[in-house]
């Protein structure tokens, strides 16, 4: 039996007493000490992984010679946990591989990742690797966007080809009076007319501001100028519409080829990642 000081009144009491006989304050039970069975660091009762070596406290103990090899941080990682200094070898376990210490946090969800997960990351946000689940989400989003872009480009390409082919047929069927050429030019330009008008009617913010000032200062001449500009842009649009249609045929064809190449490369990676996560 030993004497201890009461934390309430300071009197000396027995460590076996349940309460202080002077003030009645209960005697605090001594805290149980727990030590990591791998590195010997003192830890609390509730922890599952040692904060010093990152090893699970529920697994069987390893031989003493193995416990003398502390894990060292991976200094080449672009971003480590905020609580981890470069000279402080304390780690959280990897979310996907609890037996491995985490060296970085996912740039999207913040989940802890180890060297293996970081090296396998196909995508990065601000040069920070992502966990496997976030890689899969971003991969699915990119594949869906690429498929949508490709499908829409196919629709536009078909429409443009129909307009140009019908226009060529009308042009070649001209009987000598010029009507066939005119109708052929108009029909061929139907596909490229929206893009030609968008180009012809486009004005920068500075040009819009100058036109607005001109109308406010000289309303009559300013309005006349705007009407003339509108008709010139409209004639320019119809004149260049067939050329714009041919240009967008080439542009959409290249876009379809580019997206097909991307999907051929990305889909197998996505399928392998799904199999990896299913087998984890």
Looking at residue 77, its pLDDT comes to 43
Whole-number pLDDT of residue 109: 87
Instruction: Delimit the domains of the chain by residue range.
Output: 1-30, 134-279
The per-residue pLDDT for 184 is 85
DSSP string, 106-152: -TTT--EE-HHHHHH-S-EETTEE--HHHHHHHHHHHHHHHHHHHHH
Question: What is the Cα 106 distance to its own chain's centre?
Answer: 11
> Could you report how far apart the first and last alpha carbons of the chain are, in Å?
55
3-state secondary structure of 104: strand
Q: What is the pLDDT of residues 23-45, one digit of tens each?
A: 777 776 555 566 666 666 667 77
Decide if pLDDT at 90 tops 80. Answer: no
216-263 pLDDT, tens digit each: 887 778 788 888 888 888 888 888 888 888 998 999 999 999 999 999
User: Among the residues of the chain, which ranges form H helices?
Assistant: 64-67, 115-120, 132-172, 179-189, 193-200, 205-217, 219-279
Q: 166-223: per-residue pLDDT in tens?
A: 988 888 887 777 788 888 888 888 888 887 888 878 888 888 888 788 778 877 787 8
- How far is residue 276's CA from residue 139's CA, in Å, rounded to a whole number? 14
pLDDT digits (tens, 9 = 90+) for 13-25: 777 777 777 877 7
pLDDT of residue 58: 66
Per the CB < 8 A criterion, the answer to whether 197 and 236 are in contact is: no
pTM of the shown model: 0.55
């Amino acid at each position: 039996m030993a004497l201890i000081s009461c934390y309430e009144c300071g009197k000396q009491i027995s460590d076996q007493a349940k309460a202080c006989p002077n003030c009645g304050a209960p005697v605090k039970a001594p805290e149980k000490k727990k030590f990591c069975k791998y590195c010997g660091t003192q830890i609390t009762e509730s922890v599952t992984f040692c904060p010093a070596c990152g090893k699970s406290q529920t697994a069987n103990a390893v031989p003493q010679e193995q416990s003398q090899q502390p894990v060292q941080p991976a200094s080449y990682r672009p971003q480590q946990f905020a609580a981890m200094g470069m000279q402080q070898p304390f780690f959280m376990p990897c979310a996907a591989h609890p037996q491995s210490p985490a060296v970085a946090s996912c740039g999207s969800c913040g989940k802890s990742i180890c060297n293996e997960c970081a090296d396998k990351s196909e995508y990065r946000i601000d040069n920070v690797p992502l966990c496997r689940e976030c890689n899969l989400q971003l991969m699915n989003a990119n594949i869906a966007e690429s498929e949508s872009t490709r499908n829409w480009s196919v629709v536009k390409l078909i429409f443009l080809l129909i307009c140009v082919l019908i226009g060529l047929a009308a042009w070649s069927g001209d009987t000598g009076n010029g009507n066939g050429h005119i109708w052929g030019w108009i029909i061929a330009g139907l596909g490229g007319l929206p893009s030609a008008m968008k180009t012809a009617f486009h004005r920068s913010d500075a040009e819009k501001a100058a036109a607005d000032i001109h109308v406010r200062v000289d309303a009559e001449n300013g309005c006349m100028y705007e009407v003339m500009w509108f008709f010139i842009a409209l004639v320019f649009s119809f004149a260049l519409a067939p050329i714009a249609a041919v240009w967008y045929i080439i542009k959409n064809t290249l876009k379809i080829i580019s997206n097909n190449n991307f999907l051929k490369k990305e889909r197998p990676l996505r399928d392998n990642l799904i199999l990896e996560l299913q087998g984890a």
